Structure 1
Amino acid sequence: MWDKLLDRFLTGMMVDDRLSITYPDGTTRDYGPDSGAQGHLDIADTATLKALIVNPDLGLGEGYMEGRITPKNCTLDDVLTIIIRNRFKGHLPPWLLLANRARFHARRFIQHNAPRTSRQNVAHHYDISDDLYRLFLDADMQYSCAYFRDDAMTLEEAQIAKKAHIASKLRLEPGMRVLDIGCGWGGMALTLARDYGCEVTGITLSENQLATAQRRAEAAGLADRVHFNLQDYRHTSGTFDRIVSVGMLEHVGVPNFGTYFNRVAELLDPDGVALIHTIGRSAPPMAHSSWINKYIFPGGYVPSLSELAPAMEKSGLWQTDIEVWRLHYAKTIRHWRDRFDAHISEISSMYDARFVRMFRYYLTVCILAFEHQMQGVYHFQLAHKRDAVPLTRDYLYDGAATAAAAPHVRAREDA
C-alpha cells in the first residue's frame, strides 16, 4: 500500500529531473524524464515509506538521520536539490495539499512563543555546547549570514564585512547607547563597543550564550562598556540611541510581529536608528518545515515581507531603508558545512551518528533553501524620523565604518 502511494506521489511530482527509488523489497523505480539532474535513494523499510507519505518533509529528514534513507551513487545535495526543484512544479496528491494548508494555518498556534516557551526553544538549539559551534563558525562566533563583498573573501573576512555594513547603517558615534536584541555569543556587541566606542546592552534567552558573552567581555577589557542580560525583548526597559537585532526575528513567530516592532519603537530614542537583520521570503507565506521545527528551531519561522510589513507600518516607524541579500547566506553556510566536515572525526567523538547526520542535514537543507527557494536576508533600517539617516545610500560605501572605527583602534594602540 505505502509503496503504491509513494509511487503515485513521485509520479506526479517529478517533472524536470530523474529520481530513482530503491524500495524495501529491492525493486527500483525511476521518476521523471531521463534528463537533467539524477539522484537515487535507498529506502530501508515500510515504516519509512509510511512516514514519507504522511509528512514528506519530516519523513525524509528523520529517515536520513536514522540511516533508513541513504543516497546511492550521489550526494545528499544532489537528491535534495532535485526534490526542492520539482516539488513546486509537479502535482502533489490531495492529502499532502490539505496537510500543508493545515500546517500553514496552525502556525499562529505553533509560534505563540510566550516568554517561557521562547526560553525553552532557544535552549534547544543554542545551549547544546559552545565546543560544537566553535568548530565551524568564525573566530567571533557569528551565527548569522555573512556579507561577501567578493567571492574570494574568507568566512572571517565576510563576517567582519557584515558587522561593518550594519555599523554603517546604524550611523554610530562614540558614547551612543546601543541595544543588541538576541546578542548571541556577544560578537556584535563587543565589536560596537571596541571599534565604535558605544555603550552596549546585549540581551539573550540562552544561558550558555550569556555566560560565554560575559566571559568574552571580561577578557577583552570591555565589561564596563558592554553588559549582557538574560532577558526577553518584551521585558526590556529604557531607551536607546541605536537598536540592532541580527538573526533573532526568525524566532519571534507570526503572532508576535506586532509586539516585536512596537517594542523596537518604544525602546528607540526619538532621534534613533534601528537595524533588523532577518531571514525572509520574497514570496507569499508558506508552512515552515516540520523537520526544522522539531529538531533545529522549535517555534521558528521564516517570514514573508507581506507578513512583516503590516507590523512595521503599525509601529509608526519609518522604513528608511530595506536591503535584500541574495545568496550570501548560502555562501555562509557552505563555509560552515565545509568546516563541519573538516572536523567530522572530532564531532563524531562528541555526538552519536544520528546527531551528526541530523546537523549535516540541517546545514545542507538550509544551503539549498537559499539557492533554490525564494529565500534571502532582509535588512530593515527603521527610525522615528524620516531624516534620521542620509537621503541616499552613498554614506554606506564611502568608508564611513572604517573611519568611525579608526580613532578607537588608534587610541588603544597608542595606549
Structure 2
Amino acid sequence: MGVDKFFYKSMFRSLFSDPCQVQFWDGEVARYGGEKSKFKIVFNESIPKIDFIKDPSLAFGEGYMAKKIDIEGNLQEVVQSLYNNTKSFLHHHDMYAKVINMISNNIKRSKDNVHYHYDIGNDFYKLWLDETMTYSCAYFKSPDDTLTQAQKNKVDHILNKLALKEGHTLLDIGCGWGELIITAAKKFKVKSTGITLSLEQFNKVKERIKIEGVNDLVEVRLVDYRELKDIKFDRVVSVGMVEHVGKEYLSEYFSTVNKLLKEDGLSLLHCITSVQEGTTNSWISKYIFPGGYIPAVKELLCHMSEEKLHLIDAESLRRHYGRTLECWARNFEDSLSEIKKTKDETFIRMWRLYLNSCAASFNCGNIDIHQFLFTKDVCNNLPWTREYMYK
C-alpha cells in the first residue's frame, strides 16, 4: 500500500459523522461507519497527502473542481457530515482556519474584488436568484414561502427595523441590484441612495429605477462608501457587504458609518458572522470572495463601542441563510443547461461546491448571520418594544 493511500485510509476512519464509502484511485472501495452508506467519495486520481495536511479545505476544493474527486450523493450532506464530526482533525486544522487576513482592501483592491465576483454577468445571476435579484439571506416567515416571497420578507423586515418615515434619507452600502432602495422609496416615500462597486449591478439598478418610475426618490452611484463626502443620512443600511471589507478595515467601516449618520441616526448591519475572531476559509478566499473576511460578533461589537454607537437589537438569521442557499443550489442545478452555454465544467463545479458548502456551514452553525441595529446617539424616540419591527 502506498504512503498516500495509507494516509487517506487512516484519515477517513474519523472524518465524517455518517457512514460512507471511499473509492480510491486504484478501484478499491472502503467502507467507514457502517454498512448503510449515506454517500460515496470517489478519487479519480491520487492527490498527494501533503496537500491535505497543509490545507485540507483548499485541497478538497481544488480536487473537486478539477474532477480529481467526485461525490456520489448529496454534496451538502457530505460537507455537513464533515462539520458535524467535531472529533475530526479538520476541526483542529483548517476547514475554517484561524488566519488573519492581512490583504489590504484599499479602494482599488476592493473594486477589483467586487468585480471578480459580482461582475460575472447579470444574466448568470438571473438564472438562479429569485425574481427580485436579491443575493443575500432571505427571511422565511412560513415554510411555504417561495424564495421570492422570503426575499421580499427580508427587505420588509429590514425597512421596518429602521423605523422609516416619509422624508427620511436612506443610504444602502452595497445595494446589489436595488431591491431594498426601490422598495424603501415606494413603501415609505424616503429618498434612497444606493452605492455599489459592481458596474453590472450599477447599470441594472439604473434600469430598474427608470422602469419603476422612482427617479425622484432613488439614485444609484458607482462609488466606494469611503469616497462619500459632505453628506449625511437619517438611515444607513448594509446587507452582505461588510464581509468584503477585510479585518483591518472594520474600524474604518464603522467610523465612516458614524460620519455618514445624522444626529439620532439609525443603522442596520446585516452580515455573516463567526464565533471566533480571525476565521476565514482558504478555498473561499482564493476562488469565491478574494479579500473576504468573516468577522466575529465580538469584533463588530467592539468596533461599535469604539465609535460610541449604541446597539439596540441583534438577531440571528442562521437557519434562514441555510434555506436560502439550498434554494439557490437547487435553482443553479435546474439552470445547468443554460449555464453550460457560457461556463465551463470547472466553473460549474466551483459554484456547486460554494453554494452547497455554505448551506452546510450555516445549517451546522459553523458560521452565522446577524442583523445588528444601532444608533448614533441615545435616540429615545424609537418604540419601547420590538413589536414595531413586525407590523
Whether 1:170 and 2:162 are equivalent positions in the alignment is yes
Residues 314-352 of structure 1 deviation map (CA, whole Å, 9 limit, x = unaligned): 011100111111300111111112211211111111211
Q: For residues 236 and 37 of structure 1, do their structure 2 counterparts lie closer, same or farther at Cα, with a shift above 3 Å needed?
A: farther
Partner residue, 1:262: 255
Residues 391-414 of structure 1 deviation map (CA, whole Å, 9 limit, x = unaligned): 2112122x2xxxxxxxxxxxxxxx
Q: Secondary structure at the match of 1:300?
A: coil
Partner residue, 2:129: 137
Give how far 1:203 is off.
0.9
Give how far 1:27 is off.
2.1
Equivalent residues in 2 for 1:192-271 (5 A)? 192-237=184-229, 238-271=231-264
Could you say what the CA RMSD is over the residues aligned between the two structures, in angstroms? 2.1
TM-score, structure 2 normalization: 0.93
Residues 5-50 of structure 1 deviation map (CA, whole Å, 9 limit, x = unaligned): 3333333545x4333322212223334x327863221112223655
Q: Conserved in 2, the CA contact under 8 Å of 1:262 and 1:315?
A: yes
Equivalent-residue separation in structure 2 for 1:44 and 1:327 (angstroms)? 34
Give how far 1:63 is off.
1.5
Q: Secondary structure at the match of 1:46?
A: coil
**1:235 is aligned with what amino acid?**
E
Give how far 1:164 is off.
0.8
Q: Secondary structure at the match of 1:243?
A: strand
Equivalent-residue separation in structure 2 for 1:71 and 1:48 (angstroms)? 19
Partner residue, 1:19: 20
Partner residue, 1:385: 377
Identity of aligned residues (%): 36
Partner residue, 1:328: 320
Residues 76-99 of structure 1 deviation map (CA, whole Å, 9 limit, x = unaligned): 22322222222x323459xx74x7
Give how far 1:100 is off.
7.7
Whether 1:10 and 2:12 are equivalent positions in the alignment is yes
Whether 1:81 and 2:75 are equivalent positions in the alignment is no
Equivalent residues in 2 for 1:9-408 (5 A)? 9-14=11-16, 16-31=17-32, 33-34=33-34, 38-47=38-47, 49-72=49-72, 74-86=73-85, 88-91=86-89, 97=93, 104-105=98-99, 107-110=100-103, 112-237=104-229, 238-281=231-274, 283-285=275-277, 287-386=279-378, 387-397=380-390, 399=391
**1:267 is aligned with what amino acid?**
L
Q: Conserved in 2, the CA contact under 8 Å of 1:178 and 1:240?
A: yes
Q: Conserved in 2, the CA contact under 8 Å of 1:175 and 1:197?
A: yes
Equivalent-residue separation in structure 2 for 1:183 and 1:78 (angstroms)? 32
Give how far 1:275 is off.
0.8
Give how far 1:207 is off.
1.2
Q: For residues 349 and 92 of structure 1, do their structure 2 counterparts lie closer, same or farther at Cα, with a shift above 3 Å needed?
A: closer
Equivalent-residue separation in structure 1 for 2:189 and 2:259 (angstroms)? 24
How many pairs does the alignment contain? 387
Q: Secondary structure at the match of 2:171?
A: strand
Q: Secondary structure at the match of 2:298?
A: helix
- Pick which of 38-47 and 146-155 moved more: 38-47
Q: Secondary structure at the match of 1:40?
A: strand
Q: Conserved in 2, the CA contact under 8 Å of 1:17 and 1:38?
A: yes
Equivalent-residue separation in structure 2 for 1:388 and 1:52 (angstroms)? 55
More helix by share: 1
**1:185 is aligned with what amino acid?**
W
**2:41 is aligned with what amino acid?**
L
**2:286 is aligned with what amino acid?**
K
Equivalent-residue separation in structure 2 for 1:89 and 1:47 (angstroms)? 23
Equivalent-residue separation in structure 2 for 1:215 and 1:171 (angstroms)? 28
**2:247 is aligned with what amino acid?**
V
Give how far 1:127 is off.
0.2
Please, which runs of 5 or more residues in structure 2 have no aligned partner? none
Q: Conserved in 1, the CA contact under 8 Å of 2:128 and 2:331?
A: yes
Give how far 1:235 is off.
1.5
TM-score, structure 1 normalization: 0.88
Q: Conserved in 2, the CA contact under 8 Å of 1:144 and 1:246?
A: yes
Q: Secondary structure at the match of 1:5?
A: helix
Residues 97-150 of structure 1 deviation map (CA, whole Å, 9 limit, x = unaligned): 4x789x634x2313x311111111111110011001111111111100111111
Equivalent-residue separation in structure 2 for 1:47 and 1:89 (angstroms)? 23
Equivalent-residue separation in structure 1 for 2:333 and 2:71 (angstroms)? 17
Q: For residues 292 and 393 of structure 1, do their structure 2 counterparts lie closer, same or farther at Cα, with a shift above 3 Å needed?
A: same
Partner residue, 1:406: none
Q: Conserved in 2, the CA contact under 8 Å of 1:9 and 1:92?
A: no
Equivalent-residue separation in structure 2 for 1:19 and 1:388 (angstroms)? 57
Q: Conserved in 1, the CA contact under 8 Å of 2:56 and 2:95?
A: no
